[in-house]
């Protein structure tokens, strides 16, 4: 009987010990979950591919510079019940990140995003150069010509120039440049459709594509935002009466890489599809990426009688209704013969 009682006491003691140990272990684990992870560097980056196991992900973080035991991370992923909800993507953690915070970021897909800015007035060539230099962006289209690019975007035969909306685009590391281009193209398509639907009833433009071409010219000619609707008004007036647009940016675009920064008289006289001094109407394609303000100005220009404008030298323009008035403005601001 005494031995039986003694055995029960031992079992009770063991049970109490195990319970205490379990409580202590839970307490330690809880404490660990709240503590910032030690990092080998100020920030740690990791790309998680689709199909990586939770165990591999835990080990990858340790290999990348998280100074803890990978078994602890993996055990936490499993114990949380969210191990299978970890999302693929590119992540970055900084000092102060706890194991709880790390798992939350992985489950919620809070990826580290990069940004690339496509600027109003850029050509497609300049835009593609910016994408090629964007950090972490996979250069899938780098060796494609423009027809191949537009075919991949579902627009075979459509010129690439002007078809991408200038904006700031965020992307995750490893995303292809085609993904960004597709977003920019769809954004331009939507913005152009919205602008065309709101066009003035008396616009001389015959299609949304013509509006895009005019908007690109307005974008390149505008030095001060306040002048944009008036510049569009001048060009609309010229289109309406069949007067040549006579705009230097189209000539410069037609010269391409041959342009050395100095537009000469012979350039204005050399006939090309983009020379709006020698040819009436709009050029065959846009000449740059127009922003939203230029799209709106092209289809809703300011009502004006002006047919001419000249740069004042401070970014703004002086507008004139007649050639004589324009010549006086040219003499005043440029001291040269009329250019428009």
**Model confidence at 336: pLDDT above 70:** no
DSSP strands (E only) in 62-218: 89-94, 113-117, 168-172
**For all residues of the chain together, what is the average pLDDT?**
88
Which range (75-89, 228-242, 323-337) has the least confidence? 323-337
Question: What are the extents of the domains in the chain?
Answer: 23-108, 113-192, 200-333
pLDDT value at residue 337: 43
**Model confidence at 192: pLDDT above 80:** yes
Reported confidence tier of residue 25, pLDDT bands at 50, 70, 90: low
**What residue has token string 């919205």?**
194
Determine the straight-line distance between the first and last CA of the chain, rounded to whole angstroms. Answer: 118
| Average pLDDT score over residue span 43-63 | 89
pLDDT value at residue 111: 78
pLDDT digits (tens, 9 = 90+) for 164-189: 999 999 888 888 999 999 999 999 99
Contact 120, 64 (CB under 8 A): no
Which tokens belong to 273?
Answer: 């599809």
pLDDT value at residue 26: 56
pLDDT value at residue 114: 87
- Quote the CA–CA distance of 131 and 118 in Å, as a whole number: 9
Highest mean pLDDT pick, 27-41, 78-92, 126-140, 260-274: 126-140
| Average pLDDT score over residue span 92-97 | 88
Reported confidence tier of residue 63, pLDDT bands at 50, 70, 90: very high
| Average pLDDT score over residue span 103-114 | 86
Homologous superfamily (CATH) of 23-108 is Endolytic murein transglycosylase (3.30.1490.480)
In the chain, pLDDT over 90 holds for what percent of residues?
A: 66
pLDDT value at residue 112: 77
Candidates 208, 199, 231; CA nearest to 286 is: 208
pLDDT digits (tens, 9 = 90+) for 235-290: 999 999 999 999 999 999 999 888 888 888 898 888 999 999 999 999 999 999 99
The residues, ordered by sequence, that sit 6+ positions from 121 with a Cβ below 8 Å of its Cβ are: 166, 219, 220, 288, 289
Candidates 309, 115, 130; CA nearest to 223 is: 309
């Amino acid at each position: 009987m005494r031995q039986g009682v003694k055995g029960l006491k031992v079992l009770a003691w063991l049970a109490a010990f195990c319970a205490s140990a379990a409580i202590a272990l839970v307490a330690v684990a809880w404490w660990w979950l709240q503590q910032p992870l030690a990092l080998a560097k100020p920030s740690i980056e990791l790309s998680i591919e689709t199909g990586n196991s939770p165990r591999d992900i835990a080990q990858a973080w340790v290999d990348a510079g998280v100074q803890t035991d990978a078994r602890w991370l993996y055990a936490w992923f499993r114990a949380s019940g969210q191990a299978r909800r970890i999302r693929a993507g590119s992540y970055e953690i900084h000092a102060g990140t706890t194991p709880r915070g790390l798992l939350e970021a992985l489950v919620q897909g809070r990826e580290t995003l990069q940004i690339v800015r496509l600027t109003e007035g850029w050509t497609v060539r300049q835009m593609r150069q910016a994408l090629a230099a964007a950090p972490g962006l996979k250069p899938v289209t780098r060796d494609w010509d423009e027809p191949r690019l537009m075919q991949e975007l579902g627009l075979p035969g459509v010129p690439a120039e002007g078809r991408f909306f200038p904006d700031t685009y965020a992307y995750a590391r490893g995303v292809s440049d085609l993904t960004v281009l597709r977003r920019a193209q769809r954004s331009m398509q939507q913005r152009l459709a919205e602008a065309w639907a709101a066009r003035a009833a008396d616009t001389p433009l015959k299609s949304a594509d013509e509006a895009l071409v005019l908007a690109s010219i307005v974008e390149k000619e505008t030095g001060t935002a306040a002048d944009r609707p008036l510049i569009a008004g001048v060009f609309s007036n010229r289109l309406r009466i069949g007067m040549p647009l006579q705009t230097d940016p189209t000539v410069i675009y037609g010269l391409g890489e041959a342009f050395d920064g100095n537009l000469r008289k012979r350039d204005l006289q050399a006939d090309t599809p983009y020379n709006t001094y020698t040819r009436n109407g709009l050029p065959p394609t846009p000449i740059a990426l127009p922003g939203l303000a230029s799209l709106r100005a092209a289809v809703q220009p300011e009502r004006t009688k002006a047919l001419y404008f000249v740069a004042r030298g401070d970014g703004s323009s002086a507008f004139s209704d007649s050639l004589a008035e324009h010549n006086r403005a040219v003499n005043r601001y440029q001291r040269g013969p009329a250019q428009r």
